[in-house]
Chain A
Amino acid sequence: MTGGDAKPAMPPPHRADAAAAPHDWLAGGFGVYVHWPFCAAKCPYCDFNSHVAKAAVDQPRWRAALLAEMEAARAATGPRRADTVFFGGGTPSLMPPETVAALVEAVDRLWGVAPGAEITLEANPTSVEAGRFRGYALAGVNRVSMGVQALNDRDLRALGRMHSAAEARAAFDVARAAFERVSFDLIYAREGQTPAAWAAELRAALAMAVDHLSLYQLTIEPGTAFGARFDAGKLTVPPDDDAATMYLETQEVCAAAGLPAYEVSNHARPGAESRHNRVYWRYGDYAGVGPGAHGRITGADGARRATVSPSAPGAWLAAVERGGGPSWAEEVVAPPDQATEYLMMALRLTEGADLARFARLNGAPLDPARIAPLVEDGLATADGDRIAATAAGRPVLNALLRALLA
């Protein structure tokens, strides 16, 4: 990475109080997301856009296609600096480090990577993948997010994971040595898991020298193997009450360990938050590159567009190789819809949302008559310029959003 000073015509520094909607994204920043759709195996709970490649992936071809789409994204965003880069998937830790290096270089060439920018790669904690960590670090990756998911082998098998708990711990140690920042994911409210068992597992995770944790309650998604097993009565999950208890306990245990929740499912030591994901939650702009990637891009005309690329790898590849522009379909998001999206995302954050920004996008302020009862019931705070969900409000955020917006 060569740093931003090599670039001409830098956009103005970000201002959180952008005066008009056309520059609204500045309040959230700009990140580049790259999607690598391939996995060694499909996990039974996963509804992400992931595919098990039938034959060996043609690496040069894929690299060229990702680079081509990145060029198209640059044309759409115009000149601006990238605050973050994120390689997600799928399993991006199956990418050759050279591909990652080429893509990071391209981001820098096209937009300029801000000094100290966060560059994250999602990785599976297997020994094979750990062997590539050094190469990713050399390519410019400075943060990994590892899919550990569980810390006991029985549950890892049940989740269809291809690594053991010991392997995951070893991979974590490799990552700690290779990258400035390491995060990992755990899934809880698993079949047969009690609140006490989860609390113990969580404490064990916190005892590892981790500064960021993504803790997801298991969600049974339609169209997944778990979805089918659940519908057939062959999979049970803890009762809602236990799940709710686990959520609350998660908040307490993490806070006590110095990693308070900064988002519904994300916990970090202060300063170690995922800056890329915060672009989404603060409703910044993001360019989505790769099959099924989504973007929000404010164009030169001031209109913000939602972009979505074809999700099937073959279709995406064909669309990109056809040339003549981005592979994605796009649709203008009207300012009031942007307001809805902003509030929906920002209330996931402990810091909450800026009411003035919402009003600017919406053309009208959020109805105080809707806010007041939520404050009264201790589900939200609304102090001056900001509204935020409280610790009691976050577990029922969907209902809270309905109360505010529906």
Chain B
Amino acid sequence: MTELSRIRNFSIVAHIDHGKSTLADRLIQLTGGLSEREMKEQVLDSMDIERERGITIKAQTVRLDYTAADGEAYVLNLIDTPGHVDFGYEVSRSMRAVEGSLLVVDASQGVEAQTLANVYQAIDANHEIVPVLNKIDLPAAEPDRVKEQIEDVIGIDASQSVLISAKSGLGVADVLEAIVKRLPAPKGDRDAPLKAALVDSWYDPYLGVVVLVRIHDGVLRKGDRVRMMQTGATYQVDKVGVCRPTRKVDVEELGPGEIGFLTASIKQVRDTRVGDTITHEKRLCAKALPGYKPAQPVVFCGLFPVDSADFEDLRTAIEKLALNDASFSYEVETSAALGFGFRCGFLGLLHLEIIRERLEREYDIDLITTAPSVVYHLHMTDGTMTELHNPADMPDVMKIDRIEEPWIKATILVPDEFLGDVLKLCQERRGVQDTLTYAGSRAMVVYRLPLNEVVFDFYDRLKSATKGYASFDYQMDGYQADALVKMQILVNAEPVDALSMIVHRDRADLRGRAMCEKLKDLIPQHMFQVPIQAAIGGRIIARETIRALRKDVTAKCYGGDVSRKRKLLDKQKAGKKKMRQFGKVDIPQEAFISALKMDS
């Protein structure tokens, strides 16, 4: 139990690579939370993929003890949040568990799109915000210009910004002082009925389901019987504790303003609801906290094992991953082409990529990924609405009144010289310009775009068009009807369900042609001619033909060539496992992925 006035709860907001995790590490080090030996780069990013990609996927919490310049001992609770748009929901709920934020901006780069998206979440949560300019020791650092930019673009006072170099440790002590001096202490009533927010939950192999809580009122003790106000479930609390940098430490109780964890023999993460209010079964609090909006998958794709014998392994792996990631949805899907697999829902493309990579890497399963699709709303002629997650499931068009697709509002910051290319790209992707303003020498353009046009290769195209200088973030922006059609791909007259997609009618010809051309290069020649067609309904909109192989025979083959030829065939046998058969045609699995990337 700590005095409210001695507690500070905060998060760190930053664009990717602006030094958020490095600063967190420094704060931990400086408060003695970690010995030199334990100090690994970016302690809080515990997954391999997080470290490798330098991103944070899962929010992490750490409790630090800090004795301030005034001699008082404080408890600091840091919630490190993901920076990427796909994990925005993690940010928003974490923000609501703390009172203040450090806004970390790279002093040589300035404000970026993710900075904006996350700082607005902090503002929405009524945070006190302390701007921190990082990388101040770089020759290219322009602290004054960046302060001005923060004031212009975000509209908060940046005159008291803390100037630091997280890398060298310069100025980090000032950050600790600013946390204590400038961020508000939490409020709460120790004697009121227990009111605690369920901030997050995850599966721990030793402890089972661990629930991260923020106490608003009352006191939570080991052995208490608690009730989850939304789900109605009741549990006996086995443990309460706090998260130290390297381990969890049990405590007797958690009081108002504190952040910690509980375990209560909860079977799976799905039994808990993030944003739920935890109270005592015998002494309910009068009013639950406002819940969080649950994260909704926005991008769907099929994941199929390359080797159909791996299906059960894939199921086990997916179930395990889902244990810890309630935002990831899955159901069994059967494809005529690909056999048994799973239709999976993700928060975005990065989320998709991460899950796929973890399945391949941590569970050693080779996967075929089908075309990513967004969730369409099909308004039927009978007045009902159904969600379409898979273009292959599209019902009879005669029964559909209209199709609505999800739109996003995208914020792109880009140096002036690349603005033209960015506008052209957005225009090509059916974008509608919302605003165009300047933040220093950089243009900030807000576009409304159909998500469908973004899930394919928008990031890649944006990056290459701007030499990597553009930053991009988005939020969902409702549904809108448009002239959408299902485009099928036929290989040798057989429809390949895994390649069908929903496209805008005006873009269908272009997409169809691009797909056919791509597939023509990706599918090897066969002993017969292989037509590749794109079709809408029964109408062929594009066609390419892979010519029949005319000659593929070894001219000389005598006694000395037998072993070599057989070994070559054996190798081809292995290669064929990476192919899928459609009628008589073998399609290499990489065709499914490559065909969907658009170069044109």
Contacts and interface: CB of A to CB of B under 8 A. Distances in A.
A190 interface: no
A169 to B, nearest CB: 24
B556 interface: yes
Question: Can you list the 5 inter-chain pairs with the closest CB atoms, starting with the nearest?
Answer: A244-B550, A294-B560, A244-B551, A397-B553, A406-B572
Interface stretch (B68-76, B121-129, B317-325, B561-569): B561-569
B550 A280 contact: no
Given A33-B559, A340-B566, A406-B569, A240 B527 contact: no
Contacts of B51: none
Nearest to B583: A373
Kindly state the interface size class of chain B when it binds its partner.
Answer: 20 to 34
Contacts of B563: 294, 306, 308
B566 A265 contact: no
A247 B560 contact: no
Interface string B547-561: 001111111111110
A198 to B, nearest CB: 14
Given A33-B559, A247-B551, A400 B527 contact: yes
11 contacts: A240-B551, A244-B551, A264-B553, A264-B554, A264-B555, A341-B565, A374-B527, A396-B527, A398-B553, A399-B526, A405-B569
A241 interface: yes
Contact of B569 (A244, A377, A395, A402): A402
Nearest to A49: B560
Given A216-B555, A377-B528, A405 B562 contact: no
Contacts of B575: 406
A306 B560 CA distance: 10
A341 B566 contact: yes
Nearest to A404: B569
Contact of B555 (A219, A279, A293, A374): A219
Contacts of A394: 553
Given A244-B551, A279-B559, A396-B553, 11 more contacts: A33-B559, A219-B556, A264-B553, A265-B555, A280-B558, A292-B560, A293-B560, A373-B584, A398-B554, A405-B573, A406-B572
Interface in B190-247: none
Looking at B528, B551, B554, the one whose CB has the most chain A CB atoms below 10 A away is B551
A33 B553 CA distance: 24
A49 B564 CA distance: 15
Interface string A213-228: 0001111000000000
Given A219-B555, A396-B527, A402 B576 contact: yes
Interface in B518-537: 526-528
Contacts, number: 97
Nearest to A245: B550
Interface string A275-288: 00101100000101
A17 interface: no
Contact of B557 (A264, A286, A373, A405): A264
For chain B, what secondary structure do more than half of its interface residues adopt (helix, strand, loop), or is it mixed? loop
Chain A: interface secondary structure?
helix
A402 B569 CA distance: 7
Given A337-B566, A402-B569, A406-B572, A216 B556 contact: yes
Given A344-B566, A396-B549, A405-B569, A296 B555 contact: no
B495 to A, nearest CB: 19
A126 to B, nearest CB: 22
A373 to B, nearest CB: 5
A399 B548 CA distance: 11
A356 interface: no
Contacts of A377: 527-528
Contacts of B576: 402, 406
A114 interface: no
Interface residues of A, number: 48
Interface in A286-324: 286, 288, 292-296, 306, 308
Nearest to A88: B558
A241 B565 CA distance: 25
B58 to A, nearest CB: 44
Nearest to B571: A406
Contact of A395 (B553, B559, B573): B553
A368 to B, nearest CB: 15
B559 A344 contact: no
A149 B563 CA distance: 27
A379 B528 CA distance: 10
Contact of A401 (B528, B562, B569): B569
B582 to A, nearest CB: 13
Given A345-B557, A379-B527, A403-B527, A294 B562 contact: yes
Contacts of B555: 216-219, 264-265
Interface in B25-69: none
Interface string B5-21: 00000000000000000
A371 to B, nearest CB: 13
A396 B551 contact: yes
A288 B576 CA distance: 33
A243 interface: yes
Contacts of B584: 373
Contacts of B573: 405-406
Contacts of A265: 555-556
Given A377-B528, A405-B573, A280 B554 contact: no
Given A396-B527, A399-B527, A340 B557 contact: no
B560 A340 contact: no
Contacts of A306: 562-563
A348 interface: yes
Interface in B285-318: none
Interface string B449-493: 000000000000000000000000000000000000000000000
Contacts of A219: 554-556
Nearest to B575: A406
B329 to A, nearest CB: 38
A301 to B, nearest CB: 20
Nearest to A185: B556
B309 to A, nearest CB: 18
B551 A395 contact: yes
Interface string A66-88: 00000000000000000000000
Contacts of A401: 569
Given A264-B557, A377-B527, A399 B562 contact: no
A113 to B, nearest CB: 19
B527 A340 contact: no
A364 to B, nearest CB: 15
B525 to A, nearest CB: 8
Interface in A252-286: 264-265, 277, 279-280, 286
Contacts of B569: 340, 344, 401-402, 405-406
B562 A288 contact: no
B558 A241 contact: no
Contact of A240 (B550, B553, B565): B550
A310 B395 CA distance: 67
Contacts of B528: 377
Nearest to A286: B559
A398 B553 CA distance: 5
Given A294-B563, A340-B569, A344-B565, A399 B552 contact: yes
Nearest to B548: A396
Interface in A348-406: 348, 373-374, 377, 379, 393-403, 405-406
Contacts of A279: 559
B562 A280 contact: yes
Nearest to B574: A406
A395 B550 contact: yes
Nearest to A47: B556
Contacts of A403: 527
Contacts of B526: 399
A67 B572 CA distance: 40
Nearest to A288: B559
Nearest to A394: B553
B106 to A, nearest CB: 48
Interface in B479-511: none
